[in-house]
Amino acid sequence: MKKLIILPLFLSISINVYAQSPFPNYKVNLPTANQPNEVSIAVNPVNPNYIAAGSNLYYLYVSSNAGITWTQKQMSSVWKVWGDPCLIYDANGNLFYGHLSDQRNVGSGYWIDRMVVQRSTDNGTTWGYDASIGFNPPARQQDKEWLAADLTNSVYRNNIYMAWTEFDKYGSSNPADSTRILFSRSTDSGFSWSMPVRISERGGDCLDSDNTVEGCVPAVGP
């Protein structure tokens, strides 16, 4: 009978201990925002009290007190903003916001026809410029970008790297249409970017499915 009494008591104590998380949760987005998905978050290495996050399609959330309170904003760009947010800080505390473009309603452009990277020097309060990367007309789509900052103590410090998927024709079932992983880097704090190069050996289909070459995440070693 002792085992039957002690075991439930032990389980009860364990559940209570693990249920009491030492980290409080704070609400980030406003109740009116109905698209907070595909979230990216970054912490300023110069001052960790500054945190920035992004979510689809064009949201930006900033905190100056280590995540206790947040301000919600909407990003804008001359290339328009169409999701897949990726936020990073470089070693100097500059904030970068990468996203897709949406040029369908501005004349000769196409949907997700390029990557866009914006930079802020004041933790997301203002944004100085937005760079266009990967534009490959007439109609190839550029999708699922991800960024990495070089924080090493080397000659490459503060380089910004990007990898993403290029579609010949998004959603196409034609075997002649394929996908590939491309790479580009910036050595001047995001102002200009190198000519994209292919880094995937094999291509995939354009169905945005299991056989599509996509979902790359660049990283920088120590």
- Is 180 among the domain residues? no
The Cα–Cα gap between 92 and 42 comes to: 14
> pLDDT at residue 11 above 60?
no
Q: CB-based contacts of 93: which residues, under 8 Å, 6+ apart?
A: 44, 45, 46, 47, 50, 121, 123
- Is 61 among the domain residues? yes
Query: For the whole model, what pTM was predicted?
Result: 0.88
Q: What is the DSSP string of 142-211?
A: EEEEEEEE--SSSTTTT-EEEEEEEESSTT---TT--EEEEEEEESSTTS--PPPEE--SS-B-SSSSTT
- Is 159 among the domain residues? no
Q: What is the extent of the structural domain holding 77?
A: 2-144
The Cα–Cα gap between 180 and 163 comes to: 10
For 128, the token pair is 């100085």
For 186, the token pair is 């910036």
> pLDDT at residue 2 above 50?
no
- Is 172 among the domain residues? no
Sign of CA dihedral 46, 48, 49, 54: positive
Residue of higher predicted confidence among 124 and 33: 124
How many C-beta atoms lie closer than 10 Å to residue 20's C-beta? 7
> Span 75-81, mean pLDDT?
94
- Is 211 among the domain residues? no
Most confident region among 1-5, 92-96, 138-142 by mean pLDDT: 92-96
**How many helices (DSSP H) and strands (DSSP E) are in the chain?**
1, 12
pLDDT, position 139: 79
pLDDT, position 126: 98
> pLDDT at residue 17 above 50?
no
Domain count for the chain, please give it. 1
Find tokens 């980290």 and name the residue: 23
The Cα–Cα gap between 136 and 143 comes to: 12
> Span 44-49, mean pLDDT?
98
Residue of higher predicted confidence among 118 and 5: 118
pLDDT, position 106: 60
pLDDT, position 161: 99
- Is 136 among the domain residues? yes
